[in-house]
Amino acid sequence: MIVAGEASGDQHAAQLVEGVLRRAPDVRFSGIGGERMRRAGVEIVIDSAQLAVVGLVEVLIHYPTLRHALETMRRNLREQRPDLLILVDYPDFNLRLAKTAHELGIKVLYYISPQVWAWRQKRVYTIRERVDMMAVVFPFELPFYESAGVPARFVGHPLTREVHSSLTRDQAAASCGLDPARPIAGLFPGSRRSELQRLLPVQLEAAKRLRAEMPEVQYVMPLASTLNEDLLAPYLQAAGIEVTCVSGHFYDVIQSCDAIVSASGTATLEIALMGKPLAVIYRVNPLSYRIMRRLIRVDHIALCNIVAGKRVASELIQDAATPASIADELKRMLADPAHAARIREGFARVREQLGDERRDTDIASLTLEMLELAGDGSLETAND
């Protein structure tokens, strides 16, 4: 059984499934996920689009849906007794499901660690009780888990292998229906509906402000698999500004851009790995923010900055994420080549930190090991 509650998790889980099935085609997968996992061969019990919410207050609002999904998966664990439960990120839901699996004697592999090193660090003891193996994607996570007595392996970050475009910047721009001769700004509001509601209006207002100073700039927006154009249409109509929306081909969209304003999340890491100038924004319910701010134990919010170990991309969080501040940062990235170059140089450190040559094993091999299907039991057998 495999559970990924969000769009980024769906992508990483699909890669895991494909890697396992190439080596052990008789393994069967079912669980929570999206279209990528379905195409990879997973029997989808619950579509992850129903569960993609963020923020403490937002979770309370969607609690009945989340609770029903949790009870459904608990029942499936009891009835199906899978050989392995694989959890991908999505910690509040997945750690509850891990408790049921542990009580049933089902092994648990956790892939894409909760950010316990950043906030609510005491969750590491819950993980120690309920999880048999952590498959971590950042090298700095290993000592954190090892010091708490949690078995962990560094499997490398999946994005280092996934993130690429075969197109040049100009080719990518043309493929997105944009004019390669004009500057292009990316507006990335996130993959959740709640993010769309909170972030897209301020991004669009920032674009309108910038249009007065830089009318030649074009705007492009990737459409996450969990969203659709009908959801975007009211925001775009109200803003009265032309934005090219592109479904799929996410990395080609990134490649087409000269500067990007993105919601905090996995996308910031993807943009960093492609070396594009970036500003990070985020807003949640004000009550959620006040609570979370007291719990956070890291200096940066954006994953790209955490991995880089310094503030490379500007972070405009909560009240700082205004149309004026976003427009100013976009203008600076587009009009100041030295500023854009400094961001690119900082992001070179991100790829260096996450390189495959540093990993202990890969996630498919670790999955097969836990399923006891790695040939003679060695990782080398499954690692060919």
CATH for 335:
3.40.50.2000
Residue 246 has pLDDT above 90, yes or no: yes
**Mean pLDDT value across residues 216-229:** 86
Tokens of residue 227, six digits = 């969203």
CB 232 within 8 A of CB 223: yes
Q: Are residues 144 and 220 in the same domain?
A: no
Average pLDDT over residues 99-123: 88
Kindly state whether residues 142 and 54 are assigned to the same domain.
yes
Flag whether pLDDT at 17 surpasses 70: yes
Q: Residue 162's pLDDT band (boundaries 50, 70, 90)?
A: confident
Contacts of residue 242, defined as CB under 8 A and 6 or more positions apart, other chains included, come to 218, 219
Contact 325, 316 (CB under 8 A): yes
Length reported for the chain: 384
Is residue 141 predicted with pLDDT exceeding 70?
yes
Considering the domain architecture, whether residues 130 and 192 belong to the same structural domain is answered as no
Q: Are residues 173 and 316 part of one domain?
A: yes
Give the domain extent around 78: 2-156+359-382
Name the domain count of the chain: 2
Considering the domain boundaries, does residue 161 fall inside one?
Answer: no
Q: Are residues 33 and 134 in the same domain?
A: yes
Strand order in the sheet with 84-88: 42-47, 29-33, 2-4, 84-88, 107-111, 133-136, 152-154
At residue 29's C-alpha, the angle toward residues 24 and 34, to 5°, is 125
pTM over 0.85: no
The reply to whether 163 falls in a domain is no
Span 250-267, average pLDDT: 95
What pLDDT shows up at residue 383?
39
Q: Residue 232: is its pLDDT beyond 90?
A: no
User: Which pLDDT score, from 0 to 100, does residue 378 have?
Assistant: 38
Shared domain for 141 and 220, answered yes or no, is no
Q: Are residues 108 and 209 both part of a single domain?
A: no
> Would you list the DSSP string of 290-351?
HHHHHHB-SS-SSHHHHHHTS--SEEEEGGG--HHHHHHHHHHHHH-HHHHHHHHHHHHHHH
**Letter string b/e over residues 372-384, b meaning 16 or more CB atoms within 10 A of that residue's CB:** ebbeeeebeebee
* pLDDT, average across residues 184-202: 90
Looking at residue 273, its amino acid is: L
Beta-bridge partner residues of 18: none
| Statement to judge: residues 178 and 314 lie in one domain | yes
Q: Are residues 178 and 110 in the same domain?
A: no
Task: Please check whether residues 207 and 132 belong to one and the same domain.
Answer: no
